[in-house]
């Protein structure tokens, strides 16, 4: 019922226009010192060194064997 009258099927009904609001995220926080270090080239080199050192074999004379298949 609109203004005391019934709305017929011929009457047009308009939904109120809603402007879609996109959700926004919080601004990024600054990186901590450890996070900056982990993203840097020094950390990648250090990590690679640690990973490859696990595969090295140390001989009895406390030197690393780089020539054999085991080392």
From the list 40, 64, 37, the residue with the least C-alpha distance to 53 is 64
State which H helix or E strand residue 16 sits in.
none
In a structure prediction context, what are the per-residue pLDDT tens digits for the chain, which is 71 residues long?
Answer: 555 555 555 556 676 677 777 777 777 889 899 999 999 999 999 999 888 877 777 778 878 777 766 64
Distances (CA, A) of 21 to 13, 17, 18, 24, 27: 24, 12, 9, 9, 17
Is the pTM for the entire model greater than 0.75?
no
């Amino acid at each position: 019922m609109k203004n005391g009258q019934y709305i017929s099927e011929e009457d047009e009904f308009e939904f109120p226009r809603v402007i879609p609001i996109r959700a926004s995220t919080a601004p990024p926080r600054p990186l901590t010192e450890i996070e900056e270090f982990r993203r840097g080239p020094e950390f990648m080199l250090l990590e690679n060194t640690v990973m490859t050192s696990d595969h090295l074999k140390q001989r009895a004379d406390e030197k690393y064997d780089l020539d054999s298949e085991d080392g």
